[in-house]
Chain A
Amino acid sequence: MEPSKIRNFSIIAHIDHGKTTLSDRLLQTTGTIAKREMQEQLLDSMDLERERGITIKAHPVTMNYRAKDGLDYELNLIDTPGHVDFAYEVSRSLSACEGALLIIDAAQGVEAQTVANLHLAMKQNLTIIPVINKIDLPHANVELAKQQLEDILAIPSELAILASAKEGIGIEEILEAIVARIPAPVPTGAPTMQALCFDSYFDAYKGVVTHVRVFNGEIRAGMQIKLLHFGKTYEIKEVGSFNPKPYVRDVLTVGETGYMTANIKSPKETKIGDTITDARNPSPVLPGFKEIHPMVFSGIYPINASDYEHLKVNMEKLKLNDSAFIYSAESSVALGFGFRCGFLGLLHMEIVQERLRREYNMDIIATYPSVVYRVFLTDGTEKEVDNPAHLPEATYIEKIEEPIVKAFIICPNENIGDMMSLISEKRGTFDHTETLDTRRVMLTSLMPLNEILIDFHDRIKSITRGFGSMDYEHSGHQESEMVRLDMLVNAEPMDAFSCIVHRSKAEGRGRALAAKLKEVIPRQQFAVAIQGAIGGKIIARETIGSLRKDVTAKCYGGDVSRKRKLLEKQKEGKKRMKSFGSINIPQEAFIEVLKTST
């Protein structure tokens, strides 16, 4: 297609403001999807997305549209997730576009991710089309939304299109605005072909399927190409686009987005953000993506040790489709061989675990999440620690710095008091308040990342009955009194439960863990002490009384066979136990605790 007839845009917004629903309407109105194939939030095609009602992956679709000017255009849409943990999906999608639809829920107004995602788009110099959505809602407040557009986002409110994705209001106007306002792609002018790999997934038959945006020249099957990062050359087997299922095309011309396959069998040969160019006459590298740094780490272990290799292969494949996820090998006394994994946030962590379970059928267990600490040692060196097991002895530590975020919490006026106490409970320092409108304020505070990991978001939601939202940005590090809490059974440490916590929280957490462990560790033939310890100091303790008997009260002739099978099963179970000193603990007990405490 002629570049002047191509428009590339993403749909961005705060979570739940209606991006995917608006995408539905665009697909329908352009005839990309027949009415009978239509279903709500069609692009949320992963099971997890449909179950949770949120978008997790960016989804590209190519639409053909005959505009009011009578000309045919190719519109390449990318629907993006709204949750802060998937912001990397948004920024990568934006790199393939010239414009973005910024959706604002007319009943909710501007929220944390509205601001954050707008900034991402502006950094890439994209043209913004503001859309005030859900105007059909009885409590929609269009005037307020317009006001906020001007005040908070500095966007002239007359640019906004009023729409209801649900009722199909404003859809034509949006399509026309896309054609009229978003610039057509412009070739880079490099000597040969250049395309950006902005996403990918693994296909059992085709190997790696790379999502590409062609920035210069064109790509078609049979071309010899080079992936600049690893310097390897391939022959393109297939190019195509999405509707939203992949379909084969002859060529992707400059400015178009779509996919290509090149018989790349190993996920390891692909790097997201890489430049694809002509093999014989390579053009320069395109600006790729900023390396992102995972902020939350946790161990992932196969429940059956024999699944380790399998898990590794599957993680490689998953990483192709989730480039924010990183992993490396680690091992634990309690859990055997597994992986240290990095995530952008807690939801991201949960989603990765779920995808491994469902899409790859892996039986896995994850350890308590941790952030990355900067540890300054007495010998003057510095070390990054994301795993409690790697925290040096206290005597070698000069100081520890923990990551801090600047958190922006938007909440109704009446919840300010509760929100302030939540912030201080989580060791945050309140900075200032801004009035957003007559009903809501935005609280800005500095918070340790480690404190917002676990239940901060849920707490905000429950305090505000769903009306609060939060976003955060990194704000450096601060020295803190962090300690490693170890859990011991009869003085043997159980590494899977160690964690780095603030001294003021260590005791509470130690107690809670000890109590939980007491519940799940089966009685042994002798008493077992469960302790929480910081260095040599015991701060929490529980005792599991000794098992006093293990005998079936009554046994008849008729029971022998059944009873024998039961005993055999128990014996089998004991074989799978992990021993700590003389104590045998079934792996299920670890899993139980890890499940309930993260």
Chain B
Amino acid sequence: MVAISNEPLRSLYVHVPFCAHKCEYCAFYSAPPSGDIVNRYIAALVREFELVAHDLKPRTIFFGGGTPSMLNMRQWELILTELDRFNLLGAAEWTVECNPATVSADKAKLLRDFGVNRISMGVQSLDERLLERLGRIHSRAQVFKSYDILRAAGFDNVNIDLMFAIPTQTMEIWRATLAEAASLDSEHLSCYEVIYEEDTPLYAQLKAGEFDVDEDLACAMYDELTAFAGERNYQQYEVANFAKHKGTAASDIPDRACRHNVNYWRGGSYHGVGPSATGYVRGVRTKNWANTQIYCEQLEKGVRAIESREELPPRRRAGETAAFGLRMNSGWPYADFREATGFDLRTEWPREMDSLIARGWAQETQNQFKLSERGLRFADSAAEMFL
């Protein structure tokens, strides 16, 4: 197995637990802010930065949520200057999630000035009725307007999040949304089927029989998506992720892929800060309290707000890494897997690999094992075999 390194970690995730209004399908930890909770959260977050800063030299940073763009100028300024104070600026890839309803030119400029260089926009749909159905707070028009603001502020790496198989969404609507999104010509598309998470209104509606899931339509929409992405030069590099490749030499991972996420799927380490954030530090997975109140109280006492820890034995950890890495089109180059886990994929899971190949779900080359196009659609069944 790999020796535990004392090198500082290269990835940081920051969770901002606020949203103006909760979307119907959303199971992330977020809530509309009330009272002085935002400022209290920021103070706590800064405290947490301080606690992890010595172990960080970020190459990727991801501000997710919640709605990070909801924070106002003053609040952002505070966060950014504190990051600067802890020497955490300068990531090669620094993403902030934005809701199209909360983008302004000033905010965009501020982020850009401090080194944020990638924006992920939660668009979900470009159909007015579906936006309403999903409980999104923004309109179609706001998507286009915010996109222009971000481009004008100098962001040349933008992701657009889209959802398909939304109840009442037809194939025509999905095609139209894809076409309009592509016309924006963003560098990255993240397109995923609706997930019915327990404890969400959408799930309750499904259970109450308000609508049915049409699996065949969902599959057709996915087919449409992959075909469309190919036509528009978006290269698929993970089940739900597509990016432009600007370089000349072909690569399994396009150069506009989200490096931060690639690190997750490849079992890389990262620190996670903010309520509900998870971290993966030297083989230990941690999860912060998914409760802003508790989070703040803990940090006000000067300790991290970690609710749970989990450390798997090395071989199971390697299995987990194998399983999640297979979600990527590149699968696992054997050398990378060995470096990430200390195990050899071929000697540890030969039967599983053979059976996946026999089913037509995977391919094996000299250096690499990866799921086939069909296999990617059964990535969970495939993943299971390594766990």
Residue of chain A at shortest CB distance from B308: A561
When chains A and B are docked, how far (Å) is the Cα of A557 from the Cα of B377? 20
Q: Provide the residues of chain B in CB contact with A558, threshold 8 Å.
A: 13, 272, 276-278, 287
Is A552's CB within 8 Å of the partner chain B? yes
Is B336's CB within 8 Å of the partner chain A? no
Does B192 contact A560, Cβ atoms closer than 8 Å? no
When chains A and B are docked, how far (Å) is the Cα of A548 from the Cα of B219? 7
When chains A and B are docked, how far (Å) is the Cα of A553 from the Cα of B238? 10
Q: Provide the residues of chain B in CB contact with A557, threshold 8 Å.
A: 13, 261, 263-264, 270, 272, 278, 280
Does B323 contact A553, Cβ atoms closer than 8 Å? no
Known: A556-B261, A564-B323. A525 touches B387 (CB 8 A): no
Does B216 contact A567, Cβ atoms closer than 8 Å? no
B122 nearest CB across to chain A (Å): 12
Partner of B195, one of A547, A550, A552: A552
Does A567 contact B384, Cβ atoms closer than 8 Å? yes
Is B237's CB within 8 Å of the partner chain A? no
Does A560 contact B324, Cβ atoms closer than 8 Å? yes
Is B381's CB within 8 Å of the partner chain A? yes
When chains A and B are docked, how far (Å) is the Cα of A557 from the Cα of B28? 13
Interface residues of B in 297-338 (CB under 8 A from A): 310, 320, 323-324, 327
Q: Provide the residues of chain A in CB contact with B190, threshold 8 Å.
A: 554
Q: Provide the residues of chain A in CB contact with B310, threshold 8 Å.
A: 561
A555-598 vs B: 1/0 string, CB under 8 Å? 11110110110011011001000000000000000000000000
Q: Provide the residues of chain A in CB contact with B327, threshold 8 Å.
A: 551, 555
Partner of B219, one of A549, A561, A574: A549
Is B130's CB within 8 Å of the partner chain A? no
Does B277 contact A550, Cβ atoms closer than 8 Å? no
Does B195 contact A560, Cβ atoms closer than 8 Å? no
When chains A and B are docked, how far (Å) is the Cα of A83 from the Cα of B58? 78
Does A549 contact B195, Cβ atoms closer than 8 Å? no
- Chain B CB within 10 A, most for which of A550, A563, A570, A574: A550
Does B383 contact A567, Cβ atoms closer than 8 Å? yes
B244-288 vs A: 1/0 string, CB under 8 Å? 000000000000000001011100001010001110100001010
Partner of B192, one of A545, A553, A564, A568: A553
A527 nearest CB across to chain B (Å): 13
B124 nearest CB across to chain A (Å): 12
B353-387 vs A: 1/0 string, CB under 8 Å? 00000010000000000000000111111011001
B163 nearest CB across to chain A (Å): 9
Residue of chain B at shortest CB distance from A567: B384
Known: A549-B219, A564-B320. A554 touches B261 (CB 8 A): no
Is B239's CB within 8 Å of the partner chain A? yes
Q: Provide the residues of chain B in CB contact with A553, threshold 8 Å.
A: 192-195, 239-240
Residue of chain A at shortest CB distance from B383: A567
Does B285 contact A561, Cβ atoms closer than 8 Å? yes
Q: Provide the residues of chain A in CB contact with B278, threshold 8 Å.
A: 557-558, 560-561
Number of interface residues of B (CB under 8 A): 41
Interface residues of B in 1-37 (CB under 8 A from A): 13
B62 nearest CB across to chain A (Å): 8
Q: Provide the residues of chain A in CB contact with B264, threshold 8 Å.
A: 555-557, 560
Q: Provide the residues of chain A in CB contact with B285, threshold 8 Å.
A: 560-561
- Chain B CB within 10 A, most for which of A525, A547, A554, A568: A554
Partner of B377, one of A550, A563, A567, A571: A550
Interface residues on A, range: 20 to 34
Q: Provide the residues of chain A in CB contact with B216, threshold 8 Å.
A: 545, 548
Is B144's CB within 8 Å of the partner chain A? no
Is the contact region of chain B dominated by helix, strand, or loop, or is it mixed? mixed
Q: Provide the residues of chain B in CB contact with A554, threshold 8 Å.
A: 190, 192, 195, 240
Does B381 contact A550, Cβ atoms closer than 8 Å? yes
When chains A and B are docked, how far (Å) is the Cα of A560 from the Cα of B339? 20
Q: Provide the residues of chain A in CB contact with B376, threshold 8 Å.
A: 551
Q: Provide the residues of chain B in CB contact with A551, threshold 8 Å.
A: 239, 327, 376-380
Does A548 contact B270, Cβ atoms closer than 8 Å? no
B218 nearest CB across to chain A (Å): 8
When chains A and B are docked, how far (Å) is the Cα of A149 from the Cα of B359? 77
Residue of chain B at shortest CB distance from A566: B380
Residue of chain A at shortest CB distance from B263: A557
Does A567 contact B387, Cβ atoms closer than 8 Å? yes
Is B222's CB within 8 Å of the partner chain A? yes
Partner of B380, one of A525, A545, A561, A567: A567
When chains A and B are docked, how far (Å) is the Cα of A536 from the Cα of B53? 74
Q: Provide the residues of chain B in CB contact with A564, threshold 8 Å.
A: 320, 323-324, 387
When chains A and B are docked, how far (Å) is the Cα of A568 from the Cα of B278? 20
Q: Provide the residues of chain A in CB contact with B64, threshold 8 Å.
A: 556
When chains A and B are docked, how far (Å) is the Cα of A563 from the Cα of B264? 13
When chains A and B are docked, how far (Å) is the Cα of A567 from the Cα of B378? 12
Known: A553-B240, A555-B239, A555-B265. A560 touches B384 (CB 8 A): no
Is B231's CB within 8 Å of the partner chain A? no
Known: A557-B278, A560-B280. A550 touches B194 (CB 8 A): no
Q: Provide the residues of chain B in CB contact with A571, threshold 8 Å.
A: 384, 387
- Chain B CB within 10 A, most for which of A550, A564, A568: A564
B208-222 vs A: 1/0 string, CB under 8 Å? 000000011011001
Partner of B222, one of A547, A549, A567, A570: A549
Q: Provide the residues of chain A in CB contact with B377, threshold 8 Å.
A: 548-551
Q: Provide the residues of chain A in CB contact with B383, threshold 8 Å.
A: 567
When chains A and B are docked, how far (Å) is the Cα of A444 from the Cα of B190? 73
When chains A and B are docked, how far (Å) is the Cα of A550 from the Cα of B371? 13
Q: Provide the residues of chain B in CB contact with A563, threshold 8 Å.
A: 324
Q: Provide the residues of chain A in CB contact with B240, threshold 8 Å.
A: 553-555
When chains A and B are docked, how far (Å) is the Cα of A554 from the Cα of B327? 10
Q: Provide the residues of chain B in CB contact with A552, threshold 8 Å.
A: 195, 239, 379-380
Does A555 contact B222, Cβ atoms closer than 8 Å? no
Q: Provide the residues of chain A in CB contact with B280, threshold 8 Å.
A: 557, 560
Q: Provide the residues of chain B in CB contact with A556, threshold 8 Å.
A: 64, 261, 264
When chains A and B are docked, how far (Å) is the Cα of A568 from the Cα of B222? 26
Q: Provide the residues of chain B in CB contact with A560, threshold 8 Å.
A: 264, 278, 280, 285, 320, 324
Residue of chain B at shortest CB distance from A547: B378
11 A-B pairs (CB sep. < 8 Å): A547-B378, A553-B193, A555-B265, A556-B261, A557-B261, A557-B270, A560-B320, A560-B324, A564-B387, A567-B323, A567-B380
Which residues of B are in contact with A by a Cβ distance under 8 Å? 13, 64, 190, 192-195, 215-216, 218-219, 222, 239-240, 261, 263-265, 270, 272, 276-278, 280, 285, 287, 310, 320, 323-324, 327, 359, 376-381, 383-384, 387
- With A552-B239, A557-B272, A560-B280 already in contact, 4 other A-B pairs whose C-beta atoms are closer than 8 Å: A554-B192, A555-B240, A555-B265, A567-B387
9 tightest Cβ-Cβ pairs between the two chains A and B: A557-B264, A553-B192, A553-B193, A554-B192, A551-B379, A549-B377, A548-B219, A558-B278, A571-B384
